[in-house]
Amino acid sequence: MKRLEIPREYLEKFNVSVKSAVSGDPGIIKSAFGGEILKGCIGFEASVLGIKYQVLVSDDSLEVFFIDPLERDVDASKLIIYMFNALERVLAGRVASYGRRLVGIAQLKGGSSAQLYEKRMINYLAVEMDGSGIPEVERAVNALGGRMISHQTATWSFEVNPLNGVRIMVAFWQGEDGIPSGASILFGDESIDVDIPIEEIIVVTEMTIDRFVEFYRRVSGRKPKLFRSLYL
């Protein structure tokens, strides 16, 4: 595992949060991001968007280690901050209740300002996943930590719930007879109840889409069609 440096301004706050979580209800870590408390030491392990983390705390320090099969250190550095944010929300009692509606990004709090980001992600999926095979899609979804779901009209669709209150559903329609491929991204409206900033939802969603496409390329051997990455 590689060691991940946490910005100094977060260390003390996150150290306190992790200690509170692991010394209390073991379900707190699981609720926040599906993690499990480690035995024999103070800390936890979790796999989020395909990145495996191990977090250890002591009296005055916090250490984070990770393994990313895509070898994207930037993703690991960004995501751990949002994981800690989710942990702090759960500790404060802001726990999402699932099984509710899926909505477009414009219906989320502050989402009207995020529609250009949504359009860019949808275009990326439509181009890069054109002609995708369902078996390879399923393998990529599993690597991401998501699950395939049924959809009445889509060629394939999946859902991933990387953090408490962040539920993302992706659907893809294969183009035919001159009609281009298309995609949609919907979100669980429970994020409104726990008041997750739209900026956080955007970044986590971008990371989800970009990593999913890269996992698909890895399992299928496929090369980029037009864009090497969502970020370029």
Residues in the chain where the model's pLDDT stays below 50: none
What is the total count of domains within the chain?
2
What is the CATH classification number for the domain harbouring 109?
3.30.310
Domain assignment present for 232: no
- Nearest Cα neighbor of 156 from 174, 140, 180 is 174
- Residues 153 and 83 placed together within one structural domain of the fold: no
Q: Do residue 8 and residue 78 come from a single domain?
A: yes
* DSSP states of 3-59: EEPPPHHHHHHHHHHHHHHHHS-THHHHHHHS-EEPSSSSEEEEEETTEEEEEEE-S
Residue ranges making up the domain that contains 49: 2-91
Instruction: State the pLDDT at residue 188.
Output: 94
Task: Please check whether residues 74 and 145 belong to one and the same domain.
Answer: no
First-to-last alpha carbon distance for the chain, in angstroms, is 28
Residues belonging to the chain: 232
81 and 168 assigned to the same domain: no
For residue 141, count CB atoms less than 10 angstroms from its CB and return exposed for 0-12, middle for 13-18, buried for 19 or more.
Answer: buried
pLDDT at 99: 66
* Together in a domain, 214 and 107: yes
Residues 167-209 pLDDT 10s: 999 999 999 988 999 999 999 999 998 999 999 999 999 999 9
48 and 146 within one domain = no
Asked if residue 195 and residue 109 are part of one domain, the reply reads yes
The answer on 120 and 15 residing in a single domain is no
CA distance 106 to 124: 19
**Which candidate, 187, 164, 180, 184, places its Cα nearest to that of 172?**
184
Coil, helix or strand for 211?
helix
Average pLDDT, the chain: 94
157 in a structural domain: yes
* Residue 202 structure tokens: 């955007």
Same domain, residue pair 215 and 112: yes
91, 17 contact by CB (below 8 A): yes
Residue-level pLDDT at 95: 93
Domain end point (choices 32, 66, 91) = 91
Q: Provide the strand spans (E) within 34-152.
A: 36-37, 43-48, 51-57, 62-67, 102-103, 147-148
Domain final position from 64, 91, 118: 91
Is residue 121 included in any domain, yes or no? yes
Classify 159 as helix, strand or coil.
strand
- Three-class SS of residue 125? helix
How high is the pLDDT of residue 31? 95
Mode of pairing for the β-strands spanning 2-4 and 147-148: unpaired
Q: How many whole angstroms separate alpha carbon 60 and alpha carbon 58?
A: 6
Residue 144 counted as domain residue: yes
Do residues 19 and 58 share a domain? yes
Q: What is the CA radius of gyration of the chain?
A: 18
